[in-house]
Amino acid sequence: MTKRVVLIGHPVAHSLSGAMHQAAFDSLGIDAAYEFWDRSPMELADAVGALRGDDFLGGNVTIPHKERVVPLMDRMTEEAHATGAVNTITREGKRLVGHNTDVPGFKIALDKLVGKQKMPRYAVVLGAGGGARAVVHGLITLGFQRIVVFNRHLHRAEGLVKHFGRSAAHMELRAMPWHESIIEAELAKTKVLINATSIGLTSDLSPIPPEILQPNLLVLDLIYAQTRLLRDAKSAGATVADGEVMLLNQGAAAFTLWTGQAAPLDVMQEALAAARAGGVRSAEGEPTGLPEPSGEPVPAEASAEAVAGDPG
């Protein structure tokens, strides 16, 4: 019997994760199919309930359901519990287990960006959504001593800080209002800048002006594309990385959870690159301002703007 893995989101018509996981199943001779389920919030409980069936290895969860699935789980791992978000589901018999593989995916991406340098201790995070929660949890567990979170809607950043209250008690985790002068002042004291907003996903905009980017910064954009922020940061002399490593590694961790096997990273990376070149878009924040894919390759620039981290 062909086993099934589903990506549940709204919308999920096209996904880089599908290409990545199907290639991984096929390369290891695992008889499994990766499916896309577009389910509204009203349909979510039934969709998640279906994963209890024996034909399912598990699933991925993406925008806008990552937080909503939490109460539907029978058990949560430490990372899912800490972030309050689930991007991967596995089965233990009929019981469903919620995981958050964005956290290890982010840590690997940051580690790679930092390279041989000593891991910094101060970070600025732009954004306060599900991705930002994985980032902040990752930074806390990596020993960061000061993390400042900026968000367009301050209350959401404040909610994030409150959520991490206890686990961040030993360090300084602050929410700050989105003012360029405050971001600039914080960046001047900081080595690591993470963009966990979706600004740059569907447009060629940057969340911050180029003048405030310093050459000593390490800049990670969760979006899987050479965003304007990354281009500006590179021009300023900063060290930069996009969301590819995070996307790949959150996927690899999910693959291992479903199959018990090491993920074929090279195969997955190749499949991602091919899907990206072919204009496949992410399930995360499906672009609204671009034409629907028609089967024709999307011009490289448009597709680079369109892709981003999947169920991560």
3-class SS of residue 270: helix
Local structure of residue 203 (DSSP, 8 states):
S
Structure tokens at 147: 């993390």
Closest distance of CB 307 from ligand NDP, Å: 8
**3-state per-residue secondary structure call for 137-156:** HHHHHCCCCEEEEEECCHHH
Q: Does 86 bind ligand NDP (CB under 6 A)?
A: no
Structure tokens at 210: 């180029």
Contacts (CB under 6 A) with ligand NDP, residues 134-193: 151-153, 156
Question: Cβ closer to ligand NDP: 91 or 306?
Answer: 306
Q: Does 120 bind ligand NDP (CB under 6 A)?
A: no
For strands 75-76 and 95-99, give the pairing.
parallel
Name which position in 16, 97, 193, 199 contacts ligand NDP (CB under 6 A): 199
Structure tokens at 52: 């209890």
Closest distance of CB 69 from ligand NDP, Å: 13
The enclosing H or E element of 244 equals helix 244-259
**Is the peptide bond preceding residue 287 cis, with omega within 30 degrees of 0?**
no
Q: Nearest-CB residue to ligand NDP?
A: 309
Name which position in 72, 128, 175, 241 contacts ligand NDP (CB under 6 A): 128
CA distance 290 to 285: 12
Question: Cβ closer to ligand NDP: 132 or 168?
Answer: 132
List contacts with ligand NDP (CB under 6 A).
Answer: 63, 102, 105, 127-132, 151-153, 156, 196-199, 201, 222-224, 243, 246-247, 250, 282, 284-285, 308-309, 312
Catalytic (active-site) positions: 66
